[in-house]
Amino acid sequence: MKKKLALLLLGLSSLNVSASENFSDHEMFCEQQPQISCLDYINQQLASSELGSARWYEIKSYQFDYFYDKMEFQTLKDSTEPFISSEELPVVFQVQVYFYYAKSMHYLGDFETGRKYATKAFEKLQAIFDSFGNPMRMVELANLQYVFGNKETALHILDRAERRFGKSKDPIFHFELASNKANVFHSLGDVDGALASRQIAADWILKTNHNRKISVALGNLARTHQLLANYEQADAVYTQSLKYMDSDSDRHVIAIYTLRLAEINWQAGKPEQALKWYKQVHKEDIRQSHAKLYAHLGNVL
């Protein structure tokens, strides 16, 4: 059993050397079959893989990554929960389960449970990093610390990662490093510092063909410009980001970005342009987190 787990651990680790914020990057996997939707391809490959094989665990982790990336937190919770108590999982996959379960519980409002499993993930992640020295593991360690409120610790880990792996030419690593530094700077009230890191993240990821990551990077950059009242830049970058989105799988994010464009133009004193963007927002795609903004703009425009 130990030998089998070790082989699975090595296999999964080698397959995810270029992983992004999370352990498994479903976008890279789905590039193999662009003719069908990413989730359909993942499910298709999962169904054709032997249950419990290294291949099955690998694809299952892509499924987790997809649900997290699309902000489908209830589905992510339901998908990870069956594995949460199992002690017979490959180590990397077990960390993924803890990682995604912790984040889903956090976003669903169960902070105590989220913190419990974040701690489990952090402890195992630290052991994996000590074994393999993968720079992305350091970013993931920092991300867990940030999500659960340990901002200074997160920044310390990110600074260590930058000093140790700063010469890397991997755009995904630099994108994730800068994005996570921006999150920490923002949470500490340093919006100018966050803006600089957001720009670095966007510059790196634009060198790739990862449309989802590009749209996220540009959206974060635009939002930071907006918070600094750089409305012209915010408008341009949000508009640019929409070009990288899929009208079906990204509809919730499209609704948020379009709503922000309406808000930016209203803030900039351009009510006609604001109304134009507002009318393009599909109300059914607005999540609860942005319902108040949608209602507010509906009243003022």
The answer to whether the Cα torsion of 11, 16, 21, 22 is positive or negative is: negative
Q: How many structural domains comprise the chain?
A: 1
257 assigned to some structural domain: no
Mean pLDDT of 29-51: 85
How many Å separate Cα 260 from the centre of its chain?
19
What's phi and psi for 246, nearest 5 deg?
-95, 130
- pLDDT of 21 strictly over 70: no
The pTM for the full model equals 0.71
- pLDDT of 45 strictly over 80: yes
44 assigned to some structural domain: yes
For residue 17, what pLDDT is reported? 29
| CATH number, position 52 | 1.25.40
252 assigned to some structural domain: no
For residue 287, what pLDDT is reported? 85
170 assigned to some structural domain: no
Structure tokens of 228?
């600094």
CA angle 104, 81, 46 (to 5 degrees): 100
For residue 131, what pLDDT is reported? 55
Q: What average pLDDT is seen over the chain?
A: 86
296 assigned to some structural domain: no
Mean pLDDT of 47-75: 90
8 assigned to some structural domain: yes
Domain containing 28 equals 1-132
158 assigned to some structural domain: no
292 assigned to some structural domain: no
> Among residues 181, 174, 103, 101, which one has the least CA distance to residue 135?
174
For residue range 245-298, list pLDDT tens digits in order: 988 888 899 999 999 999 999 999 999 999 999 999 999 999 888 999 999 999
Q: How many CB atoms neighbour CB 236 within 10 A? A: 14
For residue range 208-252, list pLDDT tens digits in order: 999 989 999 999 999 999 999 999 999 999 999 999 998 888 889
Q: Report d(CA 114, CA 131) in Å as an integer.
A: 26
